[in-house]
């Protein structure tokens, strides 16, 4: 499923919330030093695609607190178009993350009432949406507020009218809403989804009633989704397209430091490939490389690899596969 018909367009427009990320070593309660960066599932994907060379844009609200200049400056440094990233007199979301002994992650969020949660359908500019090859959102974008959920639906509805492909990551977060609400929102958006990007096994069990990636693909295809890529963590990914199933191994680096955002980074690699003439299978393979390289370092966006390194590993793996 290639998406390369309009070279003058933005490649990917993402809709959602980006927060201040503060990460540290050791428990949050006893740590004195934090590293400040930025993250959020829809932004993590966008940074991954941008670092590979995609032309990207973000639809969000940014708060006018002391972090505003840091956030917008960081986004611009990644080459992200911010014409539809507008300021509101609200705070930006903030979260703290620590990696505990044994690899467990400890999160604390301060995001209620954030600027981005005030996204609404009137923030969706049809002409801007029409300037993209792919429009992307997630279950988290839906979950942060009722108005943001309505904005996602409007963006995907406009995308269908403008013949723009859509990609959706289910990204279930039960701390933001109930499972019943998540299922209702998925049912609401699925008729407008071209590329579905769920995770297994826990998320797929909750939303689809199965931990079998192939069964998830079958359900989604029955609902009219054209392409499904199920992310299975260290087990890799399973891609469903045109009645074919492709299993892709994870790229496992020598050490793993922080898996935060790995699935989002996979999405960025996949969508970059699809918008730049790569086959669906090779796009997903690039996604696994991006995710594997990302988990070596801390921070959801801090450790996303650059294009040269990612394609170096990707080409090396292709060469090894060809030699088998």
Catalytic residues: 264
Phi-psi region of 165 (alpha: psi -120 to 50; beta: other; left: phi over 0): beta
- 186: nearest Cα among 242, 213, 225: 225
Question: What is the C-alpha to C-alpha distance for residues 295 and 39, in angstroms, rounded to an integer?
Answer: 14
Strand, helix or coil at 256? coil
Chain center to CA of 268: 7
Q: Hey, what are 226's tokens?
A: 């054209």
Sign of CA dihedral 173, 129, 268, 20: negative
Question: What is the C-alpha to C-alpha distance for residues 89 and 170, in angstroms, rounded to an integer?
Answer: 29
- 271: nearest Cα among 82, 40, 56: 56
How far CA 97 is from CA of 61, 62, 153, in Å, comes to 23, 21, 30
- 38: nearest Cα among 260, 285, 284, 278: 260
């Amino acid at each position: 499923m290639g998406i390369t018909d309009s070279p003058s367009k933005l490649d990917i427009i993402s809709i959602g919330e980006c927060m201040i990320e503060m990460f540290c070593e050791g428990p949050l309660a006893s740590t004195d030093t934090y590293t400040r960066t930025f993250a959020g599932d829809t932004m993590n994907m966008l940074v991954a695609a941008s670092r590979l060379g995609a032309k990207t844009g973000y639809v969000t609200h940014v708060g006018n607190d002391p972090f505003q200049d840091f956030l917008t400056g960081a986004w611009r440094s990644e080459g992200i178009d911010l014409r539809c990233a507008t300021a509101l007199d609200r705070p930006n979301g903030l979260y703290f993350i620590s990696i505990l002994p044994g690899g467990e992650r400890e999160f604390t969020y301060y995001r209620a009432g954030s600027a981005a949660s005030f996204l609404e359908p009137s923030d969706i500019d049809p002409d801007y949406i029409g300037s993209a090859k792919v429009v992307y959102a997630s279950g988290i974008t839906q979950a942060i507020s009722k108005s943001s959920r309505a904005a996602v639906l409007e963006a995907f509805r406009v995308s269908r009218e403008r013949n723009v492909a859509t990609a959706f990551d289910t990204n279930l977060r039960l701390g933001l809403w109930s499972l019943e609400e998540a299922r209702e929102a998925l049912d609401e958006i699925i008729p407008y989804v071209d590329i579905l990007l769920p995770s297994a096994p826990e998320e797929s069990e909750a939303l689809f009633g199965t931990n079998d990636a192939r069964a998830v693909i079958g359900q989604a295809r029955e609902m009219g989704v054209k392409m499904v890529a199920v992310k299975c963590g260290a087990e890799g990914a399973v891609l469903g397209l045109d009645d074919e199933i492709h299993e892709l191994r994870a790229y496992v680096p020598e050490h793993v430091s922080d898996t935060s955002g790995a699935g989002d980074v996979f999405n960025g690699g996949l969508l970059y490939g699809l918008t730049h003439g790569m086959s669906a299978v090779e796009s997903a393979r690039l996604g696994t490389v991006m995710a594997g390289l990302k988990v070596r370092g801390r921070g959801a966006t801090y450790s996303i690899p650059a294009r040269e390194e990612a394609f170096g590993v990707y080409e090396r793996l292709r060469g090894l596969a060809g030699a088998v």
